[in-house]
């Protein structure tokens, strides 16, 4: 009870700091507080005597690689499906949070009912679809709202959750105008199209971790729907491994064929760790469509649903097209025929690859116990070995580098007590461990720990 009271107090402070407008806003609100870097996380301290003698510089052929079943799903991403979804979203005319709720073909009510039914239709009987209701009060106006939550339960022994989100509301230039035509094809019909197409493909298989497809409302009025979901997930101690927000991902002909991923405090934060994983896995599966990782919560003066997860200390990133057209934002020009569906297909493929990798791999291991040894430039790592793991990938990332580079690979029968040599004794490193299954699927990584001569100072 006392822990829940502390959580409510913290969430109240966060809510006060996040009074802001949504993705179409041009004025920057006060920045929300960022969580403490995970480098201070307590390492695993259970009895590790059973791990056996230390294995020095092990060699392994169990490495991250493309999994055939995930590659097949990526190939099945349909441009036709994506185009149809964007056109359907535009057909609702105006999806403002204060628009019509009774009409069958206009307004936010018709939109949310269609999204709900479409999740049911594509879910192969596996998706548990529900409304997540919450109130909206904005500038003297009130209207009941609903997120749509489609849950694909994991079959593994862990309790990890991957959240994929996109907001389905939109706006005209006037933020409370629920009557004027507002097509919102790219912002954010493209994100909902990606969400539904990903649900269609990922629901065709079973995954070890739970996947939640989250269509949020009232993003334009200050990310209210995602705040409602994230704060309840925090209070319920939901183990969210990753939260990925897709907002304006349709692209246009002629823009750079890359996508931007925004993550605050990139070198050390939980969101930075998610961005590194996203970058690495996308490079395995869609190497011809690179991503650009940006060390920021979002574009200057602009905000999206992922910020609510960041605010409660969960790893979250925003994915957005490489180059925006400011003349299309919240305008009647944002129509379905301006989107590049090859581009949207590529972004959807990235999502399927990353989510399937996290959900299909074993649970991430706990943070290892890492100690320097008497031998100069050598570290000893100890961690509990899981039964469903074929090997591990250990990352010793030099402080200051933002991406994964070379992994130290360890087979399952040599894991748990490992000595690694060849490090610069004067350098500082960020250490984490990922698990590998027999198909080369790489799990999300353990919490990061800083080691080296300046570790204590860097962890403050």
What's the pTM value of the predicted model, to 2 decimals? 0.90
Q: Where do the CATH 3.40.630.10 domains begin and end in the chain? A: 68-360
Pairing of strands 316-321, 240-246: parallel
Helix (H, G, I), strand (E, B), or coil: what is residue 312?
coil
Overall average pLDDT of the 49-64 stretch = 84
pLDDT band at 456 (very low <50, low <70, confident <90, very high): confident
57 CA to centre of own chain: 33
CATH code of the domain occupying 39-63+362-458: 2.60.40.10
Ranges in the chain annotated CATH 2.60.40.10: 39-63+362-458
Query: Cα(460)–Cα(439) distance, rounded to whole angstroms?
Result: 39
pLDDT value of position 25: 44
What is the Cα–Cα distance from 400 to 407, expressed in whole angstroms? Answer: 17
Q: What pLDDT digit, counting tens, does each position of 69-120 carry?
A: 999 999 999 999 999 999 999 999 999 999 999 999 999 999 999 999 999 9
Predicted pLDDT at 17? 46
Please tell me the predicted confidence (pLDDT) of residue 6: 47
CA dist., res. 368 & res. 303, Å (int): 35
**Are 419 and 376 contacting, i.e. CB atoms less than 8 angstroms apart?**
no
Bridge partners of 431? 396, 449
* Complete DSSP assignment for 81-134: HHHHHHHHHHHTS---TTS-SS-SSSSHHHHHHHHHHHHHHHTTTT-EEEEEEE
pLDDT, one tens digit per residue, over 208-262 is 999 999 999 999 999 999 999 999 999 999 999 999 999 999 999 999 999 999 9
Examine the pLDDT at 39 and tell me if it is beyond 50.
no
Q: How confident is the model at residue 435 (pLDDT cuts 50, 70, 90)?
A: very high
Which CATH superfamily does the domain covering 68-360 fall into? Zn peptidases (3.40.630.10)
HEC sequence for 24-45: CCCCCCCCCCCCCCHHHCCCCC
């Amino acid at each position: 009870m006392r822990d829940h009271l502390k959580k409510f107090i913290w969430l109240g402070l966060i809510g006060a700091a996040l009074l802001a407008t949504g993705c179409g806003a041009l004025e920057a609100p006060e920045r929300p507080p960022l969580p403490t870097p995970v480098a201070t996380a307590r390492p695993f301290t259970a009895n590790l005597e059973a791990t056996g003698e230390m294995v020095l510089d092990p060699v392994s052929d169990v490495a991250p690689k493309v999994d055939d079943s995930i590659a097949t799903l990526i190939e099945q991403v349909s441009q036709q499906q994506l185009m149809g979804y964007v056109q359907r979203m535009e057909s609702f005319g105006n999806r403002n949070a204060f628009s019509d709720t009774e009409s069958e073909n206009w307004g936010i009510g018709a939109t949310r009912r269609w999204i709900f039914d479409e999740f049911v239709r594509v879910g192969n009987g596996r998706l548990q679809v529900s409304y997540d209701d919450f109130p909206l009060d904005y500038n003297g106006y009130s209207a009941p709202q609903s997120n749509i939550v489609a849950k694909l339960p994991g079959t593994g022994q862990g309790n990890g959750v991957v959240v994929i989100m996109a907001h389905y509301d939109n706006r005209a230039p006037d933020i409370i105008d629920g009557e004027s035509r507002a097509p919102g094809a790219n912002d954010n019909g493209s994100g909902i199209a990606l969400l539904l197409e990903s649900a269609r493909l990922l629901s065709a298989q079973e995954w070890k971790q739970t996947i939640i497809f989250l269509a949020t409302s009232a993003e334009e009025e200050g990310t209210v729907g995602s705040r409602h979901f994230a704060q309840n997930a925090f209070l319920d101690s939901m183990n969210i491994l990753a939260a990925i927000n897709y907002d304006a991902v349709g692209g246009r002909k002629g823009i750079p064929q890359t996508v931007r991923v925004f993550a605050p405090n990139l070198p050390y934060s939980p969101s930075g760790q998610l961005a590194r994983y996203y970058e690495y896995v996308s490079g395995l599966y869609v190497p011809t469509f690179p991503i650009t990782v940006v060390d920021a919560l979002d574009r200057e003066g602009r905000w999206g649903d992922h910020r609510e997860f960041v605010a409660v200390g969960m790893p979250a990133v925003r994915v957005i097209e490489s180059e925006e057209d400011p003349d299309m934002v919240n305008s009647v020009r944002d129509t379905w025929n301006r989107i590049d569906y090859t581009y949207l297909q590529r972004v959807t493929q990235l999502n399927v690859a990353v989510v399937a990798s996290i959900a299909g791999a074993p649970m991430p291991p706990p943070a290892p116990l890492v100690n320097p040894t008497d031998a100069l430039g050598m570290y000893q790592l100890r961690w509990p070995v899981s039964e469903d793991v074929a090997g591990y990938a250990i990352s010793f990332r030099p402080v200051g580098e933002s991406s994964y580079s070379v992994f130290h690979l360890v087979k399952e029968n040599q894991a748990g007590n490992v000595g690694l040599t060849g490090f610069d004794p004067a350098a500082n490193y960020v250490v984490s461990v990922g698990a590998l299954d027999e198909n080369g699927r790489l799990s999300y990584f353990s919490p990061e720990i800083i080691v080296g001569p300046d570790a204590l100072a860097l962890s403050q």
